[in-house]
């Protein structure tokens, strides 16, 4: 069973994979209601899941913004 953090991260991962051709040239903003994801870049990559997400986002210019 996936945690909420993992589900939200998976949603970002799937969206980036689907729209990569459009996202790779410009900076884009990811809006999330999962507060812990805004610190994704600053976190220690402890799990293979976190490493996979960061590998997919590598080279892209993005910001993750928390929305209430």
Give strand ranges (E) for the chain.
28-32, 62-66
Whole-prediction pTM value?
0.77
pLDDT of residue 21: 94
pLDDT at 4: 86
pLDDT given for residue 60 in this prediction: 93
Q: Of 16, 2, 66, give the one whose Cα is nearest residue 37.
A: 66
pLDDT score of 23: 94
Q: Is 38 left (phi over 0), alpha (psi -120 to 50) or beta?
A: alpha
Instruction: Note the pLDDT tens digit of each residue in 10-63.
Output: 899 999 999 999 999 999 999 988 888 887 777 777 788 888 888 888 889 999
> What H or E segment, with its residue span, contains residue 48?
helix 48-57
């Amino acid at each position: 069973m996936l945690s909420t953090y993992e589900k939200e991260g998976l949603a970002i991962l799937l969206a980036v994979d689907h729209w990569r051709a459009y996202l790779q040239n410009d900076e884009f903003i990811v809006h999330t209601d999962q507060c812990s994801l805004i610190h994704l870049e600053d976190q220690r990559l402890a799990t293979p899941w976190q490493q996979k997400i960061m590998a997919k986002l590598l080279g892209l210019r993005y910001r993750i913004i928390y929305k209430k």
